[in-house]
Each structure stands twice: as structure tokens, then as C-alpha cells.
Structure 1
Amino acid sequence: MERNMFCFQCEQTAGCTGCTGSAGVCGKSANTARLQDELTGALIGLARACGNNPRTEKTDRLVLEGLFSTVTNVNFNDDTLRRLIDRVNCEKERIAPGCAKCCTKCGNADNYWLEELWDADPDIRSLKSLILFGIRGMAAYAYHAMVLGRTSEAVNSFFYKALAVLGEDLGMEELVPVVLEVGKVNLECMELLDSANTGTFGTPAPVTVPLTVEKGPFIVITGHDLYDLKLLLEQTEGKGINIYTHGEMLPAHAYPELKKYPHLKGNYGTAWQNQQKEFADLPAPVLFTTNCLMPVKESYADRVFTTEVVSYPGMVHIGEDKDFTPVIRKALELGGFPEDTEFTGINGGKTVMTGFGHGTVLSVAGQVVAAVKEGAIRHFFLVGGCDGARAGRNYYTEFVKQTPGDTVILTLACGKYRFNDLDLGTVGGLPRLMDMGQCNDAYSAVKVAAALAEAFGCGINELPLSMILSWYEQKAVCILLTLLHLGIKNIRLGPTIPAFISPNVLDFLVEKFSIAPVTTPEEDLKAILGNK
């Protein structure tokens, strides 16, 4: 019999306090949650063992894979989690022979039981959760960079430090600096991934992406891994199969080395939480390359494929050989739509734009600065982050709709699907709505903000810039910590405050960074813009 779980790492957690029954709101079972805790505890044991013993590239990859597998909506497969736990313990045995089987709790290499963390003092639990969830999100970014051949010794070393800290008996004054260090290291990690993506696929450029699906066989690819998309494009070339992005894969259309493939046609669907409805009658296979997988419904279970760390019981998994033949075969078998089929965004738009990364925005920095100085642009809003199913997320749609015509909206991640099909026109010769890319492209927003601050001779907090963020999972946590590390204040966060933030930790964040929950679009716009 499965024992009850405890999990509060994502925004949709039950009652805004934690999932504690036989299954989480995300769909993972109590047993899966227990195995993910066991995997995390084994990673802590491995980090402890590496404190006095040399690690290898294999060890680093295993740590990234293990942490990434515990991000929400990545792995629902108990068998793959058990195999990961065994691999971690075997690696610890290789590094520190005898420790994996030792029953003595010496603290040097023994695994950690996460029940100790969940039962800890609320403030300690809160700070350690920020560290744990932050490095889980950061591991996803480091993993994607690693796939493209880019690694950082500083980033990799920090994972071991942070994991080891989780198992130590430390007070708040010792944990707070580590929390902020997660943000500091994540900035380097996002820069690493940005360099890997642009170095491999070119600098993104603005592009209009159609939402119409052409007749004939096609494949939908979702997630974040651009390299998987490149391999799929190569393997489908000349086969009469079109490729459509979904969710966080949308920004791929902006990369020169990806959009050069003529069968990369457009984008299908909206944000991740709508997939069970949008995939139900889809006459095409769907390839999941990273997180945002929801429990698969019977109506489309025969056409879901996973790869990399994504895993779901009963689904065909594409292994390290990256042979997408089963996906291609399914696309040809299903045949696609008999005629071109028009879809729209949630606001009725027939196209969306993307590709406004830091390379594009900074190329017109002089134009932006001039527009601000001339009074054409009076404020910038970064409205970005994760989407989700909880009621209240229409706040972001209404906020964007109500922004004045002399303001600019920068956006990124899947939260943009709430409004990215809106036609907001232009201001100062620039589009009012600019999609900067995936969640990891928060680095672009940081780089643009830093450049504007330099151009105006002021600090980032003195810019006419406000951050209105939505969060769902752990990648949003590490991005938030990066913004806090940079000293950015007055961030508005929603739709709820994370369940793992204790009252005392929240008071600290409010006092030091003036972080605040979103209220209503009208009230927040008035507070930001006043009567201007």
C-alpha cells in the first residue's frame, strides 16, 4: 500500500499548502513522489561523497539528470526513477567504495531522508526548499547547455555544495547566503545556455509564426530542447512530414539554423496545461523533450513519445541514439489533417511573434533610449513566467490589455500564451509586445535591463521598468532568485505566493526586496504608473 506523499514544490499544490494524499495535483502518485524524494536523498549522499573524493563528467551528468528528473511534470515513471536511484548509489560506491552499503550514519557519504526536511522548522524548511527547488530548475538549464557541449566547472561544483547544504544542520543566517548564491550561479548558468543556443543555432531574429496547420502528416514537438528539434528536422527532411512547435518550443522559429528548414511550419496549441484537450483528437504524434508533460489520456496515448529525462509509463521512449523513426512512422500512419486547418490563440489571433532576444533588442538600443527620452515610451513591463491552470491567471491577460499605448511589454516563457496573439500595435517604431523566448531567456531580459540602466546612467531599480511575474515550477524559482541576487526590487509575483515560503521568510523578502503579490490589473497599474 502506498503511503501518503508530501510535495509543495509547484504553484498548483493542493490548498496552496501541499499535496499530502495518495496523488499530487500534477498527477504523480504518492509512490512516485517518495521515489523522487529518495532520488534527491541519494544525490545528497553522492554530493557528500564527492566532498572528499574526485568526481568525473559522468558524475556531473548524473547529478544534472537526477535533479532535472524531479522537476514538476517531467518524470511519472517509477521504473526509471528506481534505475536512476540505483545509478546514483552505484556512482557513490565507485567514488567512495563501501559507503553505498554502509549502515553507519557518519554524515560523510550517507544518503539523506527528505522527511527530515519536510518536518524541519518552518523557516529552515522554507530556505532549504528555495535552495532545493532552485537547483532543480537550474539543473534543467545546465542539462540543455551540456547537451550542446557547454559546461561550467563553477556551475557544476555549486550543485554539490548546495546538495550537501541541504543535509547539514544550519541556521537561517547560514542558509540565506546560499539561497542568494543559487541566484548568482543561475545567472552564470543562463548565460552559459544562451551562449550554447546562439553559438549552435544563431542569434534569434523576430519572426511571425502561423497557427494554421497545413494538410498532411505532421509532428508536434514540445518542451525546451532545441537540439532535439534540430535532430527531428534532420530526420524528417524530404519525408513529406511537417513539424509544428508547441509550448516552450515556440521560440525555436527565431533561430536561423532551425528556421532554415522549410518543413518547420508553425506552432500548434497554447500553453502546457491545455494539452489534454488540445491533443485529444490530434491526427499526429507529439514528442515531449522536457517537462510540461501531463498525465496522458487514453484518447491520445498511442501518439505520445518521450525523450531525454521525460518519462511516462507505457509511452514509447526515444533513447540516447535519438532515432525518431517510431515518431516518423506514427506521423505517416495518422496522416494529419485532410485540409489546411486554422487555429487561433486564446484571444482569437491567427499568428504570434517571437525572436526578440537581447541580440535583437540591444541592436536597436539607441532607438529605445531615444523613444524614452522623447516621451514616446514611458514604461516597460516584463510580464512573463509560467502558465498554469489555477483560477486567477487571467490577471496577466487583463494586465497586458490594460497597459497604456505608450508602454512596452516584454514577455517570455509559456505565460505569454495568455496574451501573445494580441495585436497591441507599435510605439516609438517598435512592437509594443516582444516575446524574448523561453523561460531560460530571462537572461535576455536581465541583459537588456542592464544595458538600459547603463545607457541612462542609473541602477536597474531606477529604470521605468516593472516585473510582473507568474510562476508554476522550479525553473521559475531559480529565475526569481537570480533577480533577487541582482538586487531587483518591487517584483510582483502571482498568482499565489509559493507554499514553501514561510511567513518569516516572506517578511524577509518583502523587507529586503519589496516583493509583493499581484492584486488586480487596475490596482497594480495605478500603483506602478500613478496618474502619469
Structure 2
Amino acid sequence: MTDAMFCFQCQEAAKGTGCTIKGVCGKDSELAALQDILLYMVKGVATLHLTARQNGLICEEAEMYIMNSLFATITNANFNKTVFYNRIREGLTWKTHIRQQLEEMGVDLNLSSLQHDAVTWYPRTDEDIASKWIKASVLATEQEDIRSLKELLTYGVKGMAAYAEHAAQLGYRDPEVHAFIDRALAATLEDQIAVDEWLSLIMTCGKYGVQVMSLLDQANTSTFGHPEITKVNIGVRQRPAILVSGHDLKDLEELLKQTEGTGIDVYTHSEMLPAHYYPAFKKYEHFVGNYGNAWWKQETELEMFNGPILFTTNCIVPTKKPYVNRMYTTGQAGYPGAVHIEERKAGEPKDFSMIIEHARRCEPPVQIEEGEIVGGFAHHTVLGLADQVLEAVQSGQIRKFFVMAGCDGRMKSREYYSDFAEQLPEDTVILTAGCAKYKYNKLPLGDIGGIPRILDAGQCNDSYSLAVIALKLKEALGLEDINELPISYNIAWYEQKAVIVLLALLHLGVKDIHLGPTLPAFLSPNVAKVLVEQFGIAGITTVEADMAAFLSHAEQ
């Protein structure tokens, strides 16, 4: 395996251009290469499956393989190299299976689309796998602008796959989403697609981004109820406990059922905080509260928790600290040395007995803060307050909403978002979702006529709620264009789920989005220019300058 790497898929890309020695996220060159190679394999499987689909044959198991593999390659999800070798080998099985079915159907396997190396490649050994990196690398596409467009589409699809996976765990699928994933991945192997066609595909990706977030919203609310305004405790009790991080609500539900009556408490961490807003989880008396802050602080905070930590999805920070012996992973998450909780079998729940027994042997968590966080302002709740919100807007009590959704991160430049929130005029309201909220969700910003000035809709996928709120407000105010609303977008991004949220907003027609703390390294100057000219995408500058620009625009 080569010592070289190139990855620029997340906001922390080294020097703002790309990681070439070791990922800032913590992955080494071998892991980075394996992720590239798995993605190359997945593109081959997707191309074959697209041909099968076009001939009336759909294999849902192959769709699940594609979806899960994409999810495993997003930033901070899985650091276990063995998993990637196994997933690459599994891809060979799917290639063989789909080819056989196509042959039985009489489909011509000499089609030019099926002659790409990603489709015909059948490695026999680990050495064969490792040697494929140069061809699988991002840099294999030499033309910078085409590379940029391909990667923008690829990262959008990765985020889409993550949300589709969460919905699938709850029994919700959308065949159109899977069909687009096949189509998009197959397109990234093409060399003869014009720039306009790429831009059209990317906007279509945004369309399916809205669709998959709507699907996940339906899955979550149908299963767990509509989020309610909730005060979440951030202190601790003096009992052994398990900390649950990530995004997967079904994992949390099964753990809560299995820990009921055991004397073990359960806390959420980072993006799992919004679980407290759902009615289905309120019945568990041992579901105590939220521990800690955004994902990037886990190296200091998890050590003090004392009990085992369950990572259900991404946002793992590699560590050498002793709490690694208390780390458990499940789903698409993985980490060397952590115990992995296997998938459900034959409709049975996951078996969390090992982590429960581990918790029994642990001391209670150390309290690191006290108080409460208020959240639960998803679209159903906010629309229930529609008259109150509309009156506040029309009377001038609320001058402007600021959508400050997205991701948090460890770069010092992200303090901008705390300062921005703190300096907002008292007649403005923040709409948020995702872990970006940890930059300001504990600030005492008060309320406007009983409406809190920070309205937390939930996880990053709940950015869909913010779009629904905006569209309903547009309708209520009788406006023709969503951009006429008193709403500005100042969004922080980190990884690929933020990319699909951005593309979804662009599909809905939202313009003049400010994106930071830096624009994506995978946007070439020419592609960035197109986004600026067509959609008004902009970076951030200073709090004072950006605030003045946003508020000046509101007064025009």
C-alpha cells in the first residue's frame, strides 16, 4: 500500500487543499486508500446494477451494499481497515451475481459502460486490492474542474446514502433515491459528460437530497412521534451509565429497552441530543440527559464519562486515551480495538448485553456541567406556533431569522459562529440543526414574546424541517420567491452530510448562502465561480462585516 494519499472531502483538508500524508480526521494513508478503493468498487457495482435496473431487474440487497459502503466512507465514520478489505471483497460477490443475472437475461455485457476498469476489476489478493489506489484515487481524474464536479456529486451522494440508511433501519425506502445513487455513481466513471450536464446532475442530487430527508423525517416521526419542545438535562446522576453518540435512533431505542430496570442510565452525546425531543423516548426514566458537547471535544469529555460509549454512526475522533477500552461501535461505525455490535438478525434487535455488562462495572460519570438545553423545534412544532411566529414577523418583533445549521469542528476559526450568535440583534431568531448548535445553544439569548431566540430542529438531517418552515412562512406571507423571506443562511459545514444539505437548499431555490469557515477544498476556482454566480454562494469574513451585510439586505 502506498504511503501517499489525497483526500479533500472534509472542511479540515490540510492547508485548505487536501491531506497528503495523514488525514486531519485521523485516518492514515492506508485507510484513506482503502476508502478510495472501496468507492471504486462500489462505482463498478452501481454501474452493473444500473444496467440491470434499465432491464427491469432490481436487487435490494445490492442497493443496501452500495448505500452502506458509501456511508462507511464519510468522514470520521469507520477507521477499521479490516472492514474495508471485507467490503471490497463483498463487492466482487455482487459484481458476479449481477453479471450472472444479466447474462441469463440476454443483456449484452460488451456495452461500453460495462467495460470500465471499475466494472471489470476482480482482485484476487489483498495485494491486488492495494495496488488499485492510483486508479481509484481522486487525482486519477486529471482535469481539475471535472474532478471537482465529480467529487461534489460523489460527496452529495455519500450524504444521501447516510440518510437513506437511517430511514432503511426503520423500514422506509425510496426506490427513486437508490436509482439516482446508481445513476450518479455510474456517471462519475464517464469522461465524456459536458460541464452543463454535470451541473444538472448535481442539482438533481439536491432534489433527491430533499426527498431522502423527507423520507427520514417520515420514518422518524412515524416511529417515534413528532419532536416536542423539551428541556434536556446536562447534569448527571450517581449511577453507572452508557453514553450514546451518533445519529441512529433505532439503536438508541433498542438499547433503552434492554437497559430498562437494570439500574443503568443512558445519556446522549453530540448529534444524539435531539433524541430527547421525541415522545417515544420520554417514557424511559433512565434516559437521563445529554453529556458533553460537539463531537470534536470527545477526547476530553469521554474520558470523564467513566462508562462505555456506543458510537452508532460517524463523528469518531481517533484516540490513544484509556477510554478506547470503553468504546463500542455499531452500524457503519468502526474503530480498531473497539467492540463492534453486530447487525440485527431475522428481525431481532441488536444484542447490547456486552455493553450493558460493561456498564455495570463502571463508576458513574463525572459531572462536567449543569443546567438544561431547550430544543424540539422541528417543523411540526414550529408550524403549531405559526400564528404566533407570523404575528411576531408582521409586527416587527422578529426582524430576521438566521439559519445557522450544519456542523461544528475544532478549528479556532469556528469561534466566529459563537461570536455571530452572541452579537445578533435581540429582534432576530436562530434556526438551527446539526451539531453546529453547540457553538451557541447554551448562550442566554432569551426569547421574543415567548419564542426562544434559538430554535433547534434536531440532527443534521432535520435541516429538512428548516426548509419546510421556510416554505410555509413563504406561503403564509404570500411571497413568490423563498429568497424574499426575512431569512439569511450562515451555515457551517464539515463533512458529506452537510454537502447534501447544501445541494438540497440549492435545489429549493435558496440563494446567497454563506458557507464556512472555509469553502470546500474540492471546489475548483471555476466551479466555485459558477456557484457564486448562479447561487450567490459566499464564504464568511468577519462577524461585523457579515452581520452588517445580512442586516442591510434585510432592510432593503
Shift of 1:282: 2.6
Aligned counterpart, 2:504 = 482
Aligned counterpart, 2:123 = none
Mapping for residues 126-145 of structure 1, pairs under 5 Å: 126-145=148-167
Aligned counterpart, 2:176 = 154
Query: Which of 454, 471, 474 lines up with 1:453 in the alignment?
Result: 474
Does residue 336 in structure 1 map to residue 364 in structure 2?
A: yes
Shift of 1:314: 1.5
Aligned counterpart, 2:255 = 232
Does residue 391 in structure 1 map to residue 426 in structure 2?
A: no
Structure 2: runs of 5 or more not aligned: 104-108, 119-134, 345-349
Shift of 1:356: 0.4
Letter matched to residue 421 of structure 1: K
Tell me if the contact between 1:382 and 1:410 (Cα under 8 Å) persists in the aligned partners: yes
Aligned counterpart, 1:521 = 543
User: Could you list the per-position Cα deviations for residues 318-338 of structure 1 after superposition, in whole angstroms to 9, with x for gaps in the alignment?
Assistant: 00141111111111111314x
Q: Normalization by structure 1: what TM-score?
A: 0.95
Aligned counterpart, 2:71 = 68
Query: Which of 224, 228, 233 lines up with 1:205 in the alignment?
Result: 228
Shift of 1:403: 0.7
Aligned counterpart, 2:325 = 302
Query: Which shows bigger deviation, 328-337 or 122-131?
Result: 328-337
* Structure 1: distance between partners of 2:102 and 2:204: 29
**CA 281–425 in structure 1, closer or farther in 2 if over 3 Å, else same:** closer
Mapping for residues 333-372 of structure 1, pairs under 5 Å: 333-337=361-365, 341-344=366-369, 350-372=371-393
Query: Which shows bigger deviation, 53-62 or 218-227?
Result: 53-62
Counterpart secondary structure, 2:405: strand
User: Could you list the per-position Cα deviations for residues 60-79 of structure 1 after superposition, in whole angstroms to 9, with x for gaps in the alignment?
Assistant: 11111010010000111111
Aligned counterpart, 1:78 = 81
Tell me if the contact between 1:14 and 1:25 (Cα under 8 Å) persists in the aligned partners: yes
* Structure 1: distance between partners of 2:304 and 2:381: 38
Letter matched to residue 503 of structure 1: P
Does residue 437 in structure 1 map to residue 458 in structure 2?
A: yes
* Structure 1: distance between partners of 2:27 and 2:163: 23
Counterpart secondary structure, 1:97: helix
Shift of 1:105: 10
User: Could you list the per-position Cα deviations for residues 440-468 of structure 1 after superposition, in whole angstroms to 9, with x for gaps in the alignment?
Assistant: 00100000000000011112100010011
* Structure 1: distance between partners of 2:391 and 2:101: 66
* Structure 2: distance between partners of 1:71 and 1:524: 31
Aligned counterpart, 1:257 = 280
Counterpart secondary structure, 1:292: coil
* Structure 2: distance between partners of 1:391 and 1:285: 29
Shift of 1:171: 2.3
Aligned counterpart, 1:465 = 487
Query: Which shows bigger deviation, 50-59 or 484-493?
Result: 50-59
Tell me if the contact between 1:92 and 1:99 (Cα under 8 Å) persists in the aligned partners: no
* Structure 1: distance between partners of 2:7 and 2:31: 11
Shift of 1:428: 3.0
Query: Which of 513, 530, 548 lines up with 1:491 in the alignment?
Result: 513
Question: What's the RMSD between the two structures over aligned residues?
Answer: 1.8
Tell me if the contact between 1:44 and 1:111 (Cα under 8 Å) persists in the aligned partners: no
Counterpart secondary structure, 2:361: helix
Shift of 1:280: 2.1
Shift of 1:485: 1.0
Structure 1: runs of 5 or more not aligned: none
* Structure 2: distance between partners of 1:266 and 1:188: 31
Tell me if the contact between 2:33 and 2:137 (Cα under 8 Å) persists in the aligned partners: no
Counterpart secondary structure, 2:402: strand
**Identical counterparts, % of pairs:** 47
Shift of 1:107: 3.7
Does residue 413 in structure 1 map to residue 434 in structure 2?
A: yes
Counterpart secondary structure, 2:158: helix
Shift of 1:191: 0.1
Query: Which shows bigger deviation, 321-330 or 89-98?
Result: 89-98
Shift of 1:104: 9.6
What is the count of residue pairs matched by the alignment? 522
* Structure 2: distance between partners of 1:229 and 1:259: 12
Tell me if the contact between 2:7 and 2:138 (Cα under 8 Å) persists in the aligned partners: no
Tell me if the contact between 1:49 and 1:109 (Cα under 8 Å) persists in the aligned partners: no
**CA 389–126 in structure 1, closer or farther in 2 if over 3 Å, else same:** same
* Structure 2: distance between partners of 1:78 and 1:245: 27
Letter matched to residue 81 of structure 1: F
Aligned counterpart, 1:11 = 11
Shift of 1:55: 3.0
Counterpart secondary structure, 1:25: coil
Counterpart secondary structure, 1:408: strand
* Structure 1: distance between partners of 2:484 and 2:5: 45
* Structure 2: distance between partners of 1:28 and 1:361: 40
Tell me if the contact between 1:46 and 1:109 (Cα under 8 Å) persists in the aligned partners: no
Counterpart secondary structure, 1:220: strand
* Structure 2: distance between partners of 1:219 and 1:328: 8
Counterpart secondary structure, 2:51: coil
Does residue 316 in structure 1 map to residue 339 in structure 2?
A: yes
Does residue 510 in structure 1 map to residue 527 in structure 2?
A: no
Shift of 1:260: 1.5
Q: Normalization by structure 2: what TM-score?
A: 0.91
Does residue 426 in structure 1 map to residue 451 in structure 2?
A: no
Tell me if the contact between 1:377 and 1:428 (Cα under 8 Å) persists in the aligned partners: no
Letter matched to residue 543 of structure 2: P
Shift of 1:48: 1.4
Query: Which of 272, 280, 286 lines up with 2:295 in the alignment?
Result: 272
